[in-house]
Structure 1
Amino acid sequence: MAIADSLEKVINLSFSSHERLSQYQRLTYPVISRRSGGLSLGVNLNPDKACNFNCVYCQVDRKKEIEAPLMIVEKLQAELEEWLQQIQDNNNSYRGHQLKDISIAGDGEPTTVKELPEILESMIRLKQQYHLDTCKLVLFSNGTQIDREDLRAIWPQFFKHNGEVWFKLDYWDEASLKRINRTKSSFDQLLKNLIQLGREYPLVLQSCFFSWKGQAFSPEQYQPYLDLIQRLTQEGVQIKLIQAYTLARVPAESHATPWSNEDMDHLQRMLEERLSVPIEIYYESGTKE
C-alpha cells in the first residue's frame, strides 16, 4: 500500500527538518539523518512528547500542542509494514534515498515505554521479512531504563541482527548532567547502566557539543568528558563509535547555539589525539565529504 498523497505532500526530507508526522496520527516518519548517513525510518514511541530528560539543546518542539496518536503496537507494526513495502517496491529507497536504518528515536525516552521489547522483536521480524540485511536497527536512549529485565532478554537477538544502542552522553558528572540534561536521574545510576550494557555489547555514544549564552569556543572545557571516556574504556565498556555533533535544528533554549565547522574540526582533532576510540563528527549542515 502506498503512502497517502496527502501525507506525501507534507514530508520534507532534509537535515534541518525531522517532522514526526504525529499531527497526522502517525507513529513512523522518514527523515534524512546526518548520523545515519541518509534515509532513516523513524519510530516515535513518545508522540505525547513525554521525556525524563529536559535537555537545554533539545530539538523537539514541546511548545506546539497537537492531538497525538496513541502508541498502539498493532498500529505501529502496520505503519512499518506500509513504509517497508513501499521502500522495497522502490529498490529499497524512498525519493531516491537508500534506507540506512530503522530508528526508535522520536520525541521522548523509548526505554520508558512498556511495549519496547515487543516492538524490538517486531522490528527484527520485519527486517528479516523484507530482507534488509544491511539495514541497522537503532535505539536512541538516554539510558535511564536501559537496565530493564525484559530488555536484557531481547538484547542478544537485537545486537545479532545489526542492532545498535545510541547512548546519550553529554555530561561527565552530576553537575554537568543537571546543567545540560536537566533530569532527576542520577549520574551514578546512568553510568552504572552504561557500563553494564557496554561490557556486554558495543555501544555508540552520542554527544552534543554547543555554545551556551555566547561563550567563546573552548573544547578544553571538555577534559572531564575525555577523562570519563577513558575511564569507561578502562572498565571494559566497548565503545563502537562516538558521534560528536552540534545543533542542526532549533533548540529548546535560544542560549544554545551550534559550533562552527572550524570549531567541530578542532574538537575532532582533540578527541582523536586523546582517545583511542573511533570518532565521527557531524556539523550543523551535516557531514563533510
Structure 2
Amino acid sequence: MQLTTTDHDRDAVGLTYVYPVLSRRAGGVSIGINLNVNHACNWRCIYCQVPDLTNGGPPPVDLPRLETELRGMLADVLTGDFMARSVPEGLRRLNDIALSGNGEPTSAAEFAAVVDLVGRILDEFGLAGRLKVVLISNGSLMHRPAVQAGLRRLAELGGEVWFKIDRASVEGLRAINHTDSTPARVLRNLGHCASACPTWIQTCVFSVDGEPPAETELAAYLDLLGQALADGLALRGVMLYGLARPSTQPEAPRLGRLPEDWLTRLAGRLAALGLPVRLFP
C-alpha cells in the first residue's frame, strides 16, 4: 500500500478506528482516528468523500480496541518499516494525530475520553508536547459541556481545532452542508471553541455548475469572520482549500475546482481582515 494525497481510505491498514493518510495540508503523515465507523454524520456536505454517508451519530466507541490500534500504528510508524513501505520519499515524517473520519467526531459520547486516551499514549511514546493533535470538526456541537471538556483537554495537549465554515448564510449552509444551522449559531459555536482551544477556520471553496460562490455568499462569509474578530475571538487563521478528492455525494458531477488565482484573491480578502491564511489549491 502506497499512501497518496488523493486517497484517504479509512480501511488502508485494516483497522477499525485508526488509519494513516498522506495529508497535503500537513505535508506528511497524519494518523487519523475515525469515531464514526458507521459512516454517519449530522451534516451532509456535498463535497464529502465518505461513501454511503447517512444522517446520525456513531455507535459506542470501543476504547480498548482504539487504544490497541493507536499504540500499534504509532509503533509501526516510529520504529517499524511503515514509512519505507507506504510513504513516498520526502514526505516520511509524522505530522499529527487527527480526530476526523467518516462523520462529526464530537458527536461520539466518548469524545472527551478519546482525547484523554490520546494524551496518555503520547506520554508513553515520549511525544507529549511534540506531536500535534488536531480535531477536524464542523463545529456544530461545540456548545455541549462534554465537548467543551474534550476541547480543554485538547488544549492541554497543545492541540488545535480545524473548525469548518464553508458558507455563512442560511441558504449557503443548507445548500453546501445540508444543515439547518444559522450564521448566529455558527458564530456562537465558534466562540465556544476558540475560548477553549486554539482554533483555525477551515474553508472549502469550489464551483457548482461551473460557477464560483456568489459575491453575496463571500460577503456573508467575510462578515461572519470579521464579526468573530470584532467579538475578540483569538482565531489562528484560515485554511483555505479547493477540492482535492472526488465527492461521493449525488452532487459530485456538478462540482469543480476553482482556478488558483481565484483562491488567491479570496485569500487576500481574508488577509485584509487580519487573518493569517494557509492556501491549499
Check whether TM > 0.5.
yes
In structure 2, how many angstroms separate the alpha carbons of the residues matched to 1:191 and 1:63? Answer: 26
Partner of 2:274: 276
1:278, CA displacement in angstroms? 0.7
Asked if residue 40 in structure 1 is aligned to residue 30 in structure 2, the reply is yes
After TM superposition, the structure 1 = structure 2 runs for residues 1-289 of structure 1, keeping only pairs within 5 Å, are 11-21=1-11, 24-62=14-52, 71-90=61-80, 95=87, 97-132=92-127, 133-215=129-211, 222-251=218-247, 252=249, 253=251, 254-272=253-271, 274-283=272-281
Structure 1 segments, 4+ long, off by >6 Å, are: 217-220
Contact 1:43/1:106 (<8 A) preserved: yes
Structure 1 residues 240 and 271 mapped into 2: Cα distance closer, same or farther (>3 Å)?
same
1:93, CA displacement in angstroms? 5.2
1:240, CA displacement in angstroms? 0.6
The one-letter amino acid of 2:123's match is Q
Contact 1:242/1:277 (<8 A) preserved: yes
Contact 1:217/1:263 (<8 A) preserved: no
| Secondary structure of the corresponding residue to residue 21 of structure 2 | strand
The one-letter amino acid of 1:143's match is G
The one-letter amino acid of 1:279's match is V
1:192, CA displacement in angstroms? 1.2
Identity %: 31
Structure 1 residues 211 and 160 mapped into 2: Cα distance closer, same or farther (>3 Å)?
same
1:137, CA displacement in angstroms? 0.5
1:236, CA displacement in angstroms? 1.3
1:116, CA displacement in angstroms? 0.8
Contact 1:201/1:238 (<8 A) preserved: no
Q: TM-score, normalised by structure 2?
A: 0.87
Structure 1 residues 223 and 105 mapped into 2: Cα distance closer, same or farther (>3 Å)?
same
Structure 1 residues 265 and 89 mapped into 2: Cα distance closer, same or farther (>3 Å)?
same
1:26, CA displacement in angstroms? 2.3
Q: TM-score, normalised by structure 1?
A: 0.85
Structure 2: which 5+ residue stretches go unaligned?
Answer: none
1:90, CA displacement in angstroms? 4.6
Structure 1: which 5+ residue stretches go unaligned?
Answer: 1-10, 284-289
